[in-house]
Structure 1
């Protein structure tokens, strides 16, 4: 059969030759309809999250922004629009700056400690040990305990009169300490952070198992020791995981409410019972909301914190851009 006959037959059957014209409009319409169905299915599955995000995050944030320009106290229908008055008062309030400084010190201290502890535990349970699965479970269990439960447990553990911590001190003939008062309260707060290091352990463990074994074997052949291999190979390949943990750790540390749960007389005295060393930024916000009824001023405090978190996150990405390495498949770049 000649080429002319083949072309004529293809024209009669409506089929295009390999080098012929593009697909008929009917096929493009079918693909477009399939794409629309895929888009509808996608938005249907994510709609619960989108609705929750709008109703529980976006709307409260916009409402808090509006409150920050008013003197609303949460009860009285009489309120006044003060513009930037709350923000001007905020920047001249010494208590706000003190609370912000303590929060920054807490974040700088707690985030590296928790990441180091989680990574150390991950390296430990990544080794071929007996009952390794049991150890992983036991180390991760504290991370799933709700913060309220952990706060109450630590409050009972470090109670000055009946706590187990002072019971141990009494066994060795030492005097009981006021763990939940200054200057020891800050150390108890750090212990509660390290208590939940199992969450970081699981994420670090996943990153460790993604490190190619061939690189470790090559390092051993070249004579590199365990510490040199960990520092020069494992840590650089874990840098995206460490960056994620740093960002999320900073965000969580500046929003912690654990000092309120650890306060010795929080049920009766409220926020005033919190030791000065643990009077963090969110405790200052809590006091303005519920102790003084200054909803407008407290909302301004929250919006300033939101902006500071954005700035801190941007700075972290900016200063770590040269030390974070992403393991990308060369075929994926094509």
Structure 2
């Protein structure tokens, strides 16, 4: 055979020619593997942090809650549900939970309403609007420890700025960090950081279409009617988010309570009775009394309370929250 005849003989088909879709399938599989690797690479820091800083501590606290471990005596043992039975029958636990509930019922609506009012004000076309937004949000940037120390310096009985002003006008000093004033100082420290709720409410306000409000004005609706019938319903998902996160945070309030306590925190008597809330009780059981098992049971009871309260909030607001998303068609 000549060279031309040999070249003319059809050779074996290549793999791609035999299966045209095989190469495309291989490429898509390789792309999927690379995407999966990228996903785990970017989420690995969060996953490691969640396991080490959340999942493991929660599991360890759950195990401790079934023991009488005190971190000192080697003769600890499993006690089953004894810590939970003692906690549920403890009047100190119930009173501290009641004070925490009172604080939550007052502080959460107060911060939500205050933040919404500020958001409405800075959303208007004012001069230097950016400056006002910055100044109102600035206190929220201060760490909780800094806020606690600042308010303690302001309301200290002996050398506080507030009592200094009262002394200037010839008035007697007031023990602001003792009962019955300590609870109001705590609420003021919460209002100090209204910038967080203001920013979230402002983002929700700016997401509302202007056409709806303009149409309401054309129809003769007043500003209040437009706000009540258009703005609030469209802002309801944002308000729900603020309510849920606010309740969860308020039930775990601890750091602001330190401003009304002795710096040493050697015992629980340094905390005013009105501010002896749930997390202060947990802190005392851990570090003042060394009852690690009982304190861990208190933490898990609080976790159960938070889950139940959150579920009740979602249940109660299921028909009042407006989501501007079309429901997916059923297949």
Superposition pairs of residues 173-322 of structure 1, within 5 angstroms: 173-267=170-264, 269-322=266-319
**How far apart, CA to CA, are the structure 2 residues paired with 1:147 and 1:273?**
20
SS in 2 for 1:33: helix
Deviation of 1:268 after TM superposition, in Å, equals: 5.5
Structure 1 stretches (4+) deviating beyond 6 angstroms? Answer: none
Paired residue for 2:48? 51
**How far apart, CA to CA, are the structure 2 residues paired with 1:253 and 1:219?**
37
Deviation of 1:209 after TM superposition, in Å, equals: 0.4
> For 1:269-299, what per-residue CA distance to the aligned partner results, in whole angstroms no more than 9, with x for missing partners?
4432111111110001000000000000000
User: Does 68-77 or 246-255 show the bigger shift?
Assistant: 68-77
Kept in 1, the 8 Å contact 2:144–2:256? The answer is no
**How far apart, CA to CA, are the structure 2 residues paired with 1:145 and 1:53?**
25
Paired residue for 2:157? 160
Paired residue for 2:145? 148
2:87 is the counterpart of 1:90: yes
**How far apart, CA to CA, are the structure 2 residues paired with 1:260 and 1:243?**
26
> For 1:94-129, what per-residue CA distance to the aligned partner results, in whole angstroms no more than 9, with x for missing partners?
100000111111101100000111111111111111
Deviation of 1:135 after TM superposition, in Å, equals: 1.0
Deviation of 1:169 after TM superposition, in Å, equals: 2.9
SS in 2 for 1:119: helix
Question: May I ask how many residue pairs the two structures share in their alignment?
Answer: 317
2:115 is the counterpart of 1:114: no
Deviation of 1:313 after TM superposition, in Å, equals: 0.6
Kept in 1, the 8 Å contact 2:137–2:195? The answer is yes
SS in 2 for 1:115: helix
Deviation of 1:23 after TM superposition, in Å, equals: 7.1
User: Does 172-181 or 298-307 show the bigger shift?
Assistant: 172-181
Paired residue for 2:124? 127
**How far apart, CA to CA, are the structure 2 residues paired with 1:210 and 1:103?**
34
Deviation of 1:168 after TM superposition, in Å, equals: 2.8
Kept in 1, the 8 Å contact 2:62–2:296? The answer is yes
Question: Pick from 35, 57, 60: which aligns with 2:32?
Answer: 35
Paired residue for 1:69? 66
Kept in 1, the 8 Å contact 2:266–2:288? The answer is no
TM-score of the superposed pair, with normalisation by structure 2 = 0.91
> For 1:19-41, what per-residue CA distance to the aligned partner results, in whole angstroms no more than 9, with x for missing partners?
xxx97232123212212211210
**How far apart, CA to CA, are the structure 2 residues paired with 1:258 and 1:216?**
42
Kept in 2, the 8 Å contact 1:159–1:179? The answer is yes
SS in 2 for 1:74: coil
SS in 2 for 1:24: helix
**How far apart, CA to CA, are the structure 2 residues paired with 1:295 and 1:163?**
36
